[in-house]
């Protein structure tokens, strides 16, 4: 398809905010594209070149670079375009106007196709190293030289990620269902494949090429994140138990970052976040520990990464994981903010997808492949069959530094519902933590060597109270030490 024709659809989508209208425009567009074009078009509609989780580079073109390319293609000085951009605040409009007013005769009469535009942008994205900025500008200039004003408008918006068509992945899935299955009511068939393999372009292509059968054959694959299953919430233990058939497994609900950990065929460990970002670089310690603790040629396991106090081993609030988000000096962050990972599910093992297996079976498989280490543990779990047991376990979880518990159904239909929030998992949180109601006098009777930030000084202190009957100091708890810096 010519890019010019694609732009007409974009124009139509831009002027409507009505979802049904959007879906029918998309369906019409999708039917006119070849499967290869369809794949590329779906990415462009979302303003991307591939899913984020692939870890492939982003386009990396800033406003200034885009204006430079527009200036080269139109012959209008960059300073003039910059003023225009300040005034209009929309790169698309600037590109459109620049091409309308262009002072250079068109040298190339080539008509752009969707494939031309996508492939050129992909090439620009892949350019790295010295000279890559200039190459990106040259590629963009080439595109603008061949573009009509309206084409330039959308190219510029794609490049700067300002498409803002109000189209989400689910709108595209609706459009695909309408185009290839005749009605958007059939979206669930496409959506369940997408939940296991969240690459919109790939899913679109399979839908067009192989239809329902092709979609049903899509399997989870290590290296491709699965959209995570989420929990519903209830605030009464009896209601929870009633909802899941009278009994279930309560698991500690750790307060950290969800981690879906994959071991691929080439033995690479990859960690994906709940939002499917590749966060492997933040956790070299977890990668190493998983290699030692989890058996299997290939697997996908899920758990929660939590910060722990290096001195007391206590769980720390999830905010401390922020320190792992830095780009540099992860080694220091690793030492200062050590973590543990508590595994709670197994979604794939040695070539077999386990999503359809009931939860007790998945947990059994998980237990059979995990060897507990200093860093890797299984989420603490307890079979509960009445409210008192559940309440007691929840309070214990809170005491141990968790948010509460997640109660999981044991029934045969308790499959892993990728991408869905359902009643197979119900969270039960204590929204406040128990706090000391009064002050107490304690005596320091011991101290621990500090580690990480506190190395060379004391870590935790051991404190005690005096028991006059026994004439003894009986230890009460460990206390973390707050470091104060003096200037």
Among 151, 304, 311, 417, binds ligand AMP (CB under 6 A): 304
Instruction: Count Cβ atoms within 10 A of the Cβ of residue 468 and give its class: 0-12 exposed, 13-18 middle, 19 or more buried.
Output: exposed
Q: 304 or 320, CB closer to ligand AMP?
A: 304
Binding marks (x or -) toward ligand AMP, 418..457, rule CB under 6 A?
---------x------------------------------
- Establish whether 86 is a catalytic residue: no
> Closer to ligand AMP at the Cβ: 179 or 365?
365
Using rule CB under 6 A, residue 406 touches ligand AMP = yes
Q: Which residue, 251 or 309, has its beta carbon nearer to ligand AMP?
A: 251
Stretch binding ligand AMP (CB under 6 A), from 63-71, 139-147, 189-197, 245-253: 245-253
CB of 427 to ligand AMP, least distance (A): 5
Residue 229 CB, nearest approach to ligand AMP (Å): 8
CB-neighbour burial class of residue 183 (10 A; exposed 0-12, middle 13-18, buried 19+): exposed
Catalytic residue among 102, 253, 408, 427: 253
Please, which residue, 232 or 292, has the CB nearer to ligand AMP? 232
Single out the residue of 6, 272, 299, 344 in contact with ligand AMP (rule: CB under 6 A).
344
Candidates 205, 221, 258, 424: give the one binding ligand AMP (CB under 6 A): 258
- Which C-beta is closer to ligand AMP: that of 225 or that of 228? 228
x-or-dash string of contact with ligand AMP, 74-113, rule CB under 6 A: ----------------------------------------
Q: Which is nearer to ligand AMP, 423 or 448 (CB)?
A: 423
Q: Which is nearer to ligand AMP, 6 or 359 (CB)?
A: 359
* Pairing, β 404-409 against β 421-429: antiparallel
| Minimum CB distance to ligand AMP, residue 421 (Å) | 8
Which region among 14-22, 86-94, 246-254, 314-322 touches ligand AMP (by CB under 6 A)?
246-254
Residue 39 near residue 201, CB atoms below 8 Å: yes
Q: Return the range that interacts with ligand AMP (CB under 6 A); candidates 103-111, 200-208, 248-256, 288-296.
A: 248-256
Per CB under 6 A, the segment of 122-130, 251-259, 357-365, 466-474 that binds ligand AMP is 251-259
Contacting ligand AMP within 225-244 (CB under 6 A): 228, 230-231
221 binds ligand AMP (CB under 6 A): no
Binding of residue 417 to ligand AMP (CB under 6 A)? no
Based on the shown chain and the rule CB under 6 A, indicate whether residue 274 belongs to the binding site for ligand AMP. Answer: yes
3-state SS record for the chain:
CEHHHHHHHHHHHHCCCCHHHHHHHHHHHHHHCCHHHHHHHHHHHCCCCCCHHHCCCCCCCCHHHHHHHHHHHHCCCHHHHHHHHHHHCCHHHHHHHHHHCCCCCCCCCCCCEHHHHHHHHHHHHHCCCCCHHHHHHHHHHHHHHHCCHHHHHHHHHHHHCCCCCCCCHHHHHHHHHHHHHCCHHHHHHHHHHHHHCCCHHHHHHHHHHHHHHHHHCCCCCCCCCCCCCEEEECCCHHHHHHHCCCCEEEEEECCCEEEEEEECCCCCEEEECCCCCECHHHCHHHHHHHHHHECCCCEEEEEEEEEECCCCCCECCHHHHHHHHCCCCHHHHHHHCCEEEEEEEEEEECCEECCCCCHHHHHHHHHHHECCCCCEEECCEEEECCHHHHHHHHHHHHHCCCCEEEEEECCCCCCCCCCCEEEEEEEEECCCCCCCCCCCCCEEEEEEECCHHHCCCEEEEEEEEEECCCCEEEEEEEECCCCCCCC
How many residues in the shown chain lie near ligand AMP by CB under 6 A? 14
Q: Does 254 bind ligand AMP (CB under 6 A)?
A: yes
Between 317 and 351, whose beta carbon lies closer to ligand AMP?
317
Question: Under the rule (CB under 6 A), what is the footprint of ligand AMP?
Answer: 228, 230-231, 251-254, 258, 274, 304, 344, 379, 406, 427
Residues annotated as catalytic are 253
């Amino acid at each position: 398809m010519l890019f010019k024709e694609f732009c007409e659809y974009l124009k139509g989508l831009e002027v409507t905010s009505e979802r049904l209208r959007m879906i029918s425009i998309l369906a019409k567009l999708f039917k006119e594209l070849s499967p290869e074009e369809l794949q590329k078009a779906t990415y462009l509609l979302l303003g991307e070149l591939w899913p984020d989780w692939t870890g492939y580079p982003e386009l990396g073109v800033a406003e200034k670079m885009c204006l430079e390319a527009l200036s080269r293609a139109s012959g209008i000085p960059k300073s003039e375009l910059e003023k225009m951009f300040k005034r209009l605040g929309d790169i698309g409009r600037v590109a459109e106007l620049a091409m309308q007013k262009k002072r250079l005769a068109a040298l190339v009469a080539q008509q752009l196709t969707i494939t031309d535009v996508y492939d050129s942008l992909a090439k620009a994205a892949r350019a790295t190293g010295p000279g890559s900025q200039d190459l990106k500008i040259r590629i963009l200039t080439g595109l603008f030289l061949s573009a009509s004003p309206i084409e330039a408008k959308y190219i510029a918006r794609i490049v700067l990620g300002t498409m803002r068509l109000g189209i989400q992945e689910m709108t595209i899935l609706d459009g695909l269902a309408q185009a290839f299955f005749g009605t958007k009511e059939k979206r669930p068939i496409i959506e369940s494949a997408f939940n296991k393999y969240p690459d919109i372009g790939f899913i679109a292509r399979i839908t067009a090429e192989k239809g329902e059968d092709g979609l049903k054959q899509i399997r989870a694959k290590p290296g491709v994140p699965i959209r995570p299953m989420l929990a519903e919430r209830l605030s009464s233990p009896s209601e929870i138990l009633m909802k899941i058939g009278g009994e279930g497994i309560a698991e500690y609900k750790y307060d950290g970052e969800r981690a879906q950990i994959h071991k691929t065929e080439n033995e690479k460990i990859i960690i994906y976040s709940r939002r499917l970002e590749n966060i492997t670089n933040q956790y070299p310690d977890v990668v190493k520990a998983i290699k030692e603790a989890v058996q299997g040629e290939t697997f996908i396991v899920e758990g929660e990464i939590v910060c722990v106090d290096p001195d007391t081993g206590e769980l720390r609030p999830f905010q401390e994981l922020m320190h792992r988000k830095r780009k540099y000096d992860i080694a220091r962050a690793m030492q200062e903010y050590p973590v543990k990972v508590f595994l709670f599910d197994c979604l794939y093992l040695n070539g077999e997808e386990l999503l359809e297996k009931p939860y007790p079976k998945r947990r059994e498989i998980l237990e059979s492949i995990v060897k507990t280490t200093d860093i890797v543990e299984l989420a603490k779990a307890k079979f509960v069959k009445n409210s008192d047991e559940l309440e007691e376990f929840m309070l214990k979880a809170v005491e141990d530094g968790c948010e509460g518990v997640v109660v999981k159904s044991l029934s045969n239909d308790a499959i892993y519902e990728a991408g869905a929030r359902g009643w197979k998992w119900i969270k039960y949180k204590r929204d406040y933590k128990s706090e000391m109601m009064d002050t107490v006098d304690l005596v320091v009777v011991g101290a621990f060597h500090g580690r990480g930030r506190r190395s060379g000084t004391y870590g935790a202190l051991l404190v005690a109270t005096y028991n006059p009957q026994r004439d003894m100091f009986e230890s009460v708890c460990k206390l973390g030490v707050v470091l104060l810096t003096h200037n």
